[in-house]
Structures are given as C-alpha cells and as structure tokens.
Amino acid sequence: MADFSSIQGSLLPVSRDRQIKMIDTGAKAMQRMLAMGRDDALEIITRALVAELEDRATKLDAVLISSKAEQTVFLRGVVGKVEKQLRERSEFNEDLVRRGIQEVMRLWHETWSL
C-alpha cells in the first residue's frame, strides 16, 4: 500500500476528510468502470496522489486552499498519473481506461468542491 506519511503530518481534519473522500470516490469509479478490485484501485489512486504532491513539493492543505484553476491542474496531474499506471497494465484495454479516467475526473470535479 502507498505511504501517506508525506502528506498526513500537516493535514487538518477537514482536508483529511476531503482526501479520503477523493480517494474513495475515485476508487469506486474505477471499480465500477474497470471491474477493478477495491484494494487495487485504492493503491493506484493513493500512489498517484502522493506522487503529484511530491512532484509539486507541496502539501495537500496548500492545494485545498489554492485557486480553482490550481486545484484543477492538480487534479489533472493526479488523473494523469492514475491513467499512466492503468495503461501499464496489460489487462485493461485503451477504451476502458479512457472511459474510466473520464468518470474519475468527472466525479472528482463534482466532489472536490472547487
């Protein structure tokens, strides 16, 4: 399972709830769209979230208080990393990955409270 230690230390309770909701919503969409196991979906999303935060050298709290445009760019970065991980797996075809990623992005935009 991915390591949350790089983002957990400074999270406020509200941002931790939003982080959990984001990961859970994305995992449910991946389960539904890609017939993927829950643990596998959670692992992919968590890794992508942590990697995007590390690439930006930032904490989730900073993203949550940033502008809508900055949050959208952040989400697209996370989604891009999820998509890359999915494309590396031979069991998923291109169409399923594309549709699954579109659904995850749509749900995140709805629940992220941009």
Residue 54 falls inside a structural domain: yes
Residue 3 falls inside a structural domain: no
Residue 78 falls inside a structural domain: yes
Residue 60 falls inside a structural domain: yes
Residue 6 falls inside a structural domain: no
Which residue in 27, 82, 74 sits closest to 55, CA to CA? 74
Spatial separation of the C-alpha atoms in residues 104 and 108, rounded to whole Å: 6
pLDDT in tens, 32-46: 777 788 888 888 888
Residue 70 falls inside a structural domain: yes
Print the domain residue range for 20: 13-111
pLDDT top residue among 93 and 72: 72
Residue 79 falls inside a structural domain: yes
- Distance from the Cα of residue 110 to its chain's centroid: 13
Count of structural domains, the chain: 1
Per-residue confidence band for 19, with pLDDT thresholds at 50, 70 and 90 = low
Residue 1 falls inside a structural domain: no
Q: How far apart, in Å, do the first and last CA atoms of the chain sit?
A: 28
pLDDT top residue among 73 and 96: 73
What's the predicted TM-score (pTM) here?
A: 0.69
Place of tokens 């999270």: 11
* SS3 sequence of the chain: CCCCHHHHCCCCHHHHHHHHHHHHHHHHHHHHHHCCCHHHHHHHHHHHHHHHHHHHCCCHHHHHCCCHHHHHHHHHHHHHHHHHHHHCCCCCCHHHHHHHHHHHHHHHHHHCCC
